[in-house]
Structure 1
Amino acid sequence: MKTLKKFGILLFSTLLLASCATDKKKAIATIEARSGSDVSGTVTFIEKDGVVTMKAELSGLSEGNHAIHIHEIADCSAPDGKSAGGHWNPTDKNHGKWMQEPFHVGDIGNLVVGKDGTGTIERETNLWAVGGKDVNKNIVGHAIIIHEGPDDFSSQPSGAAGPRIGCGAIIRK
């Protein structure tokens, strides 16, 4: 009986440690319309083993490219989305194209939207974290902004993407 009890404890401990090793952290931004648009959707961030995967699924957009960025403040209260502040740029780099130096960690790129008004974009990086103490990586407490136009990847500091038509605070789940 003692052997069976020890085996049970060992099995439980092993399973517990294994589940911690593959533990996922998750954050979501629910996108709400701003500046008179019809934009809606979600941007989901899942961190596993130090890598964050982001997936944005949006609707209510005009066909074409729309810039998507992480902004400084998780405040979408302003009708034009400006309460979210500027681009999140904790490393003080120039604005640019995703993963092409120079760029700041809030630069996500352009969401390609079809005739049906929907679009998705995915990114994967170890430059972000869902929570944690590293202010250069932690995306929680910032906002996702969807812009009316495309990011030109060169205009400073924001890519000349036009009005903010969607906003969502990034909240840990």
Structure 2
Amino acid sequence: MTYAHAFHRLPAVFGAVALLAVAGCASPTLGPTASADLMPTTGNTTTGNVQFVQLGGMVRVSGTIKGLKPNAEHGFHIHEKGDCSSGDGMSAGGHFNPTGAKHGHAGDPGVHAGDLPSLHADATGTATFSAELRGISVGAGVTDVVGRGLIVHAMPDDYVTQPTGNSGGRLACAVIVRR
């Protein structure tokens, strides 16, 4: 093979190397998905949409929630019952806790499956978030969030008070449904 002939093959070689490099950096395979459309409880205006996407052994939880107290932190949890029929959101029951774990910071080992990161509202009362969490699943197992309630609370989670975090009243409720 001549030098000139080998030189013309370089683009094909570099293209194959680039393709392998991109394939090696691919994100985990997307698994089942679910979503929740938050509706305000009586006397409140909080609404939003939250997506749950299974990514291998983690679940990406992301969304946008509006109608929160501006520049404030709000507790945010998955609750045991997919029932938002009461005006105050209490029909959703307590925190989703299928393994009998303690309440604490989402993502820490040994905490409730229902523990989610707190919401941080901006100056307009909107919180946009995305977190990848272990300890929950979409569509399978004891930690499956499908059919559970999703609650936005009025106050910050103190991460200490058991079993709820002392997050106050329920501003919005949704049922998590498989998509």
- Report the TM range for the smaller structure's normalisation: 0.7 to 0.9
Tell me how far 1:38 sits from its aligned partner. 0.4
> Are residue 109 (structure 1) and residue 121 (structure 2) matched?
no
Within 5 A, what are the aligned runs for 1:46-85?
Answer: 46-63=53-70, 64-85=72-93
Query: Matched residues in 1 for 2:58 and 2:173: separation?
Result: 24
Q: Cα deviation per residue 1:35-94 (whole Å; 9 max; x = unaligned)?
A: 411001111001133321010310011120000000001111110000000000111011
Q: Cα deviation per residue 1:111-169 (whole Å; 9 max; x = unaligned)?
A: 0001111002222123221102x11x211010110000000000111011110011010
Q: Which residue of structure 1 lines up, in the alignment, with residue 152 of structure 2?
A: 146
Stretches of 4+ aligned residues off by more than 6 angstroms: none
Q: Which residue of structure 1 lines up, in the alignment, with residue 34 of structure 2?
A: 27
- Conserved 8 A contact 2:30-2:53: no
Query: Matched residues in 2 for 1:100 and 1:94: separation?
Result: 10
Q: Give the TM-score of the pair, scaled to structure 1.
A: 0.82
- Conserved 8 A contact 1:109-1:151: no
Q: Secondary structure at the match of 2:117?
A: strand
Task: Tell me how large the CA RMSD over aligned residues is.
Answer: 1.5
Q: Which residue of structure 2 lines up, in the alignment, with residue 130 of structure 1?
A: 138
Identify the match of residue 156 of structure 1 among 162, 167, 179. Answer: 162
List alignment gaps of at least 5 residues for structure 1: 1-20
Q: Secondary structure at the match of 1:83?
A: helix
Q: Give the TM-score of the pair, scaled to structure 2.
A: 0.79
Q: In proportion to residue count, which structure has more strand?
A: 1
The number of residue pairs the alignment matches comes to: 151
After superposition, the Cα gap between the structure-2 partners of 1:131 and 1:116, relative to the gap in structure 1 and judged at 3 Å, is same
Q: Which residue of structure 2 lines up, in the alignment, with residue 95 of structure 1?
A: 103
Amino acid at match of 1:65: E
Query: Matched residues in 1 for 2:109 and 2:145: separation?
Result: 20
List alignment gaps of at least 5 residues for structure 2: 1-27
Tell me how far 1:23 sits from its aligned partner. 5.0
Amino acid at match of 1:78: S
Query: Matched residues in 1 for 2:147 and 2:136: separation?
Result: 13
Amino acid at match of 1:46: V
**Percent of pairs with identical residues:** 38
